Amino acid sequence: MTEPNPGPPIEAPDAEAALTALRARGLRISATRRRMAEILYEARQPLTAEQVADRLGGAGRADLPSVYRNLEVLEEVGLVRHFHLGHGPGRYVPAGAGVHEYLVCERCQALLAVDPHELDDVRAQVQERFGFTARFTHFPIAGLCPDCTREVAG
């Protein structure tokens, strides 16, 4: 089980609006929260809570429960979202302008990030056939990436 590959970079959304939303709810913009947002934007790839904690701590690692709590707050406020790659820890990405949806390879863990519009046809087809509104944001499409498809097929 290797690490998923980075996928394309992530653009920065309107962080200021989100921070304002924080204030509106009586929540505070701590240095830690600000740095967490920066870390996620600069990572330009999905990070686990543990990875965020690693990059936060000056010496050692930041407190993991606090990181989870802050990720939750940032998500409620719309600065961050997360999704699940099969088993293993959740992955966090900045929300906003550069939203992607993902396809994850069950064989090599590669992550294929795509523009949501590229999945519109697929969603439409599922909608038409089953009346079901497919969302691939929280639980991505799983399967075999192009490379693994070739290798498995022959």
Partner DNA sequence: CTGTGTGCAAAGGCTTTGCACTCAA
Partner DNA sequence: TTGAGTGCAAAGCCTTTGCACACAG
Using an 8 Å Cβ cutoff, are 40 and 52 in contact? yes
- If the CB atoms of residues 57 and 146 are measured against its own copies, the closer one turns out to be 146
CB of 109 to its own copies, least distance (A): 13
Residue 135 binds which entry of DNA, its own copies, none, CB below 5-8 Å type-dependent? its own copies
Using an 8 Å Cβ cutoff, are 31 and 19 in contact? no
Residue 18 binds which entry of DNA, its own copies, none, CB below 5-8 Å type-dependent? none
Unique residue bearing structure tokens 């070739």 = 150
Residue 133 binds which entry of its own copies, DNA, none, CB below 5-8 Å type-dependent? its own copies
Does residue 48 interact with DNA by CB under 7 A?
Answer: yes
Scanning residues 3 to 42, which ones bind DNA (CB under 7 A)? 22, 26-33
Contacts of 33 (CB under 8 A, 6+ apart): 22, 70, 73, 74
- If the CB atoms of residues 22 and 119 are measured against DNA, the closer one turns out to be 22
Residue 87: burial class (beta carbons within 10 Å; 0-12, 13-18, 19+): exposed
Residue 12: helix, strand or coil by DSSP? coil
Q: For binding to DNA (CB under 7 A), which residues are involved?
A: 22, 26-33, 48-50, 62-66, 68-70, 72-73, 88-90
